Structure 1
Amino acid sequence: MNDVRRLRELATDIAREAGELARLRRAEGVLLAATKSTVADIVTEADREVEQLIRDRLSAERPGDGFLGEESGGADSATGLTWVVDPIDGTVNYAYGMPAYSVSIAVVEGNADPETWIGLAGAVYAPVLGELFTAARGEGAWLGETRLSVNAEAPAGALLATGFGYDPTTHDGDLATVRQIMPLARDLRRMGSAALDLSYVAAGRLDGYFERGLRPWDFAAGALLVTEAGGVVTRTDTASERPMLVAAGPEIHAQISSVLHNES
């Protein structure tokens, strides 16, 4: 059996190296390489370079493991483990010089299907903020040496976070969801990095997070952080192109899910 602590250490080490490369390239100036789903959905040269660094490190240290990266696609696993990677989560923030971006690296047991995989270890590193969130299955979630715990309740209303897709045709639906949720909320945050949003739920900086249309690399590490911090992460409408992910402590998760279940 693979040692989840060693897997966490490897994810942590690579995330730090990758994050420092991303920070360095941002200081040198961002070059846009392409757009993806829409004009607003960008990829920078740094995204590609950082993912290649991660992929090279994993190929050298974990030959035979599978890989799923946002920029370079997938590779099948010969070991039963797959690494799920977002080299720069929050690319638009990154391109604009905002510090809310991160490197997200997770390793799962199984293939790249989040409906069947089991999260084993992960790291989310925000290089500008200097914060490293890590988790290993059964070992808890951590910010540096501090063990994390989700918020159990929010008597004054929940501080929630969400995000919107890049496709403008989905914005009306996303805004309608926000209107449904707001009676539960003290306030709403929109940071632009799903990995950081999930890390902040794990750390108790947010009470909960919900978003449609996330891809596996957006949440693989962050979801493990939340569950290891005592929270609940669910995905519904998984047969659709835009499944809904909800992450929070158990009580707050139940409240959000109840509202979304009744969403018209």
Structure 2
Amino acid sequence: MTEGEGTRRTRIPLNRERVLRAAVALADGEGGSGADALSMRKLAQELGVVPMALYKHVANKEELLTGMVDAVVGEIDPPAPGARWKEAVRDRVLSARRALRRHPWAPRVIETLPAPTPAMLAHLDAVIGLFRSGGLSADLTHHAMHALGGRVLGFTQELFTTSPSSPPDAGAAAQLAARYPHIAEIAATAAHPEDGPAPGGGCDDRFEFEFALDVLLDGIERLHRASWTSAAGNRL
């Protein structure tokens, strides 16, 4: 048997799953801009095939990105069996956050998709099912999903950039504090001792994400217990 024959016999067949897995790994290596840096040609080189071979499994880069998002969303774990609805929703959302943090390019891609992918729809359906099986009305569940927004998929759009690349010097910081005293006051409380300050002295992203999630879920639970509806005259 020649060396060439051995190579042909041991080559792993190309399929859609392998293409998507390689694309996700390649994007991961590029950090938050991984999806932008990804190209069909670069992916083909990574897989050791010609670019045309990829088009048997994905029609174009848009379909590739959709499949990559589905692969990432597929990493979200279901909640523990028997968990109450609030804990179950919390566990699933935090699992989504862990999945997206493993793939920092994913939130940006999700925000640019023209429509939810099949895996995203399945995840949203599962979260809605947790609310409904917990006894929440369809009306309250509808508003709860709006309130949670992108947090259901494990990410949020922060109000401020928490890790400035070049923090202001002492003089400039003092001027900003004098002009915007309330912002300066809360900025001084950014670090959380239990986790330590975030890189660059900003807020602890995990703490802030879980804090907002718990505030929302506590409020949703309160409305559920009060038999809240969105009908006029029944707003708390």
- When the two structures are superposed, what TM-score results if normalisation uses the length of structure 2? 0.26
The structure with more radius of gyration: 2
- When the two structures are superposed, what TM-score results if normalisation uses the length of structure 1? 0.24
Q: Which has the higher strand share?
A: 1
